[in-house]
Amino acid sequence: MRREHLIGKLSVNRRGFGFVAPEDGGTDVFIAAGNMFGALNGDRVKVLVTDKFRGRSEGRVVEVLDRANKIVVGTLRKANHKIFVTPDDTRIEKILLPKFRQKVAAGTKVVVEIFAWSPLRGRVVEILGKEDSPGVDVLSVLRAHGVAEDFPPDVHAEASRIELEPDADEIARRIDRRNLKVVTIDGADAKDLDDGVFAEERDGGFFLGVYIADVSFYVRTHTALDGEAFERGTSIYPVDRVVPMLPRELSNGICSLNAGVDRLAMACEMILDAAGNVTDYKIFPTAIHVHRRLTYAQVDKFLAGDAELSDCADNLNTLRKIRELRKKIRGGRGSIDFDLPEMKVLLDAAGKPIEIVKRVQSVAESIIEECMLLANETVAEHTLRRKIPCLYRVHELPSPEKVLAFNQLLAHFSLHVATSNGRELEPRDFQKILSHVKGLPAERVITSFALRTMQQARYAAECLGHFGLAAKFYTHFTSPIRRYPDLIVHRMLRASWESPQKLPTLAKGLDEIARHSSERERRAVDIERETTDMKAVEFMAQFVGKKFDGVIDGVTSFGFFVELDNGVNGLVRAAELRDDYYTFVERELALIGQATGKTFRIGDGVRVKLIGANVQLRQLDFELVSGVPDKDLIAQI
């Protein structure tokens, strides 16, 4: 074959081989373990395509263009008078420390900067602590993703100079809403309170005020605070801590809508008709005085009949009515509600997992969600109609390939995502499927697969609509304390009132802000998922040898994944299925025994035994249980 060069990102398997995805599209190129040329997982490389085998391109790395692993987290080891680091990422070989002279015990977690690649050599740039010390495991994940918890000195200096109370002259310049009994409704442990709400019935319809912390008043362009907020992009919520986007002087202080004090806010006040449709609105800077700081639990108790919050009764009862109307409107246009329980790992004071719970959205949470969704839609439409450059939250149509895979699964349940008359796929097509499987044993598996079929939401300087919400206009306006794009939306609104001539200049940076913010959001999601999975596996380690009921939620050529009732997921390896030789049939999304025809398919219920819990790999290994033991032998978590 004709030899050619291509450039792409290298993805290395834990078994040593890898694939390069060409930047200009096309088929991935297989790279054998011996053809890496010192490249590591994530590196941008130049590849010489050398052969084709069974239709697959193969090649070797000839140049590393960009290194993705200059900083690595691992564990210090000592052997044969040499000191080295074993990286947490098992796809990276050990790193020698030729000039390390510090008296640090083996088993200490460290951050290493690599300065030579063949063989790997580096220098320690940070000592995190003993690998079994509380919090070091989560800290290691943060550092592996390049996240520092503390803020630079210049950011601290700016934050320390910010006023502790709103300026009286600034309040006088604003429309004053301190007379309204605004409430915040958040989790009991929340400290950065972005949003307050107030509602009342008026003239056969409703007034809904959504009041958002005016972070843009305090975080101005060309400041250290703004530069650091852009760099972070978002607050991060690992399993045991919060890494805020803004220093606590702002996030928990002057910008937080704390009860009983005056605060500057951005208002989105809406008039709704009796059916819940917005008929008029105003967006403006305001000052508020939060009447009560409520928790989801308190509001849920009140809505269930508790009289404790009688001073907020009219507000809360009206908010519940608005929530019901808005859910009906969204449902009518096809908005998709996935309703998947969230796995939450509870930790003790030492960071050890003590319980796994499944969180389901409460009515109080749903009230706030509906208010925020409506404010976000209203602001997005406002900026578009007024031709104000802005950042939007966009969610595009699923790819045909992913829809095909989803339909392959649905076929086994006599279901199909279908359109008629050649029309484009719509959210209601997915909504119909999810409604159909509500309450069925396979509901969670099908809902999870539907969610994976969706495109990843992102930020863009163009309003492209939100497929999942079935919304033509959508932005993120309601969380500027913890999301940089929301801060930018506020900043563009402020410029449209105060200095419209600056809008074209501000608009020039929107594409880069959208790209960077989307990347930072994905990093935060990865960190949160990794730390949760790590603690979940650590919790499950105590149950090795126990048997569980579960549902197959993924099938591959090397086995199938089983989800237990508490939300944890583990692998049954095909090689461990001793009764037959099983082949992965992609069109069936199943492993099928060649001799017996026995099939393991997504959605099947199975009984498994936990045989391994690898915390470092965040991986559970199951063994299929033959026969059906007595129910009382099945472990209850």
- What tokens appear for 37 in the block? 């040329």
pLDDT over 60 at 37, yes or no = yes
Q: pLDDT-derived band of residue 150, with 50, 70 and 90 as boundaries?
A: very high
> Where does residue 202 rank: exposed (0-12), middle (13-18), buried (19+ CB within 10 A)?
exposed
pLDDT of residue 53: 59
590-593, strands of its sheet edge to edge: 582-585, 590-593, 599-601
**Rounded to two decimals, what is the model's pTM?**
0.91
Asked, colleague to colleague, whether 4-66 and 544-633 share their fold, the answer is: yes
pLDDT of residue 359: 85
Per-residue pLDDT tens digits for 455-473: 999 999 999 999 999 999 9
Per-residue pLDDT tens digits for 385-404: 999 999 999 999 999 989 98
pLDDT over 80 at 256, yes or no = yes
Residue 376 and residue 330: Cα distance in Å, rounded? 14
Q: Which CATH class name applies to 544-633?
A: mainly beta
- Cβ–Cβ contacts within 10 Å for residue 408, how many? 16
Residue 374 and residue 202: Cα distance in Å, rounded? 18
Mean pLDDT of 295-317: 93
pLDDT over 80 at 54, yes or no = no
DSSP 587-626: GGTEEEETTT--EEETT-EEEEEEEEEETTTTEEEEEEPP
Choose among 583, 580, 577, 568: nearest CA to 618. 568
pLDDT over 50 at 374, yes or no = yes
Q: pLDDT-derived band of residue 424, with 50, 70 and 90 as boundaries?
A: confident
Are 178 and 170 contacting, i.e. CB atoms less than 8 angstroms apart? Answer: no
pLDDT over 60 at 262, yes or no = yes
Per-residue pLDDT tens digits for 168-201: 999 999 999 999 999 999 999 888 999 999 999 9
Per-residue pLDDT tens digits for 310-343: 899 999 999 999 999 999 999 999 999 887 888 8
Q: Which CATH class name applies to 4-66?
A: mainly beta
- Cβ–Cβ contacts within 10 Å for residue 246, how many? 29
- What tokens appear for 191 in the block? 């400290």
pLDDT of residue 341: 84
- Cβ–Cβ contacts within 10 Å for residue 134, how many? 16
Per-residue pLDDT tens digits for 427-457: 999 999 999 888 887 788 899 999 999 999 9
Mark 339-365 as b/e (b = at least 16 C-beta within 10 Å): ebeebebebeeebebeebeeeeeeebb
pLDDT of residue 631: 44
List the beta bridge partners of residue 619.
614
What residue has token string 């007034």? Answer: 207
How many residues would you count in the chain?
637
Per-residue pLDDT tens digits for 59-87: 999 999 999 889 999 999 999 889 999 99
What is the rounded average pLDDT for all residues in the chain?
Answer: 92
pLDDT of residue 629: 40
The full set of domain ranges for the chain reads 4-66, 71-133, 153-393+464-496+506-529, 397-454, 544-633
- Cβ–Cβ contacts within 10 Å for residue 567, how many? 20
Mean pLDDT of 288-294: 97
Q: What percent of the chain has pLDDT over 90?
A: 78
pLDDT of residue 471: 97
CATH architecture of 71-133: Beta Barrel (2.40)
Q: pLDDT-derived band of residue 55, with 50, 70 and 90 as boundaries?
A: low
Amino acid, single-letter form, for residue 538? E
pLDDT of residue 420: 65
In the chain, the largest separation of any two C-alpha atoms, in whole Å, equals 83
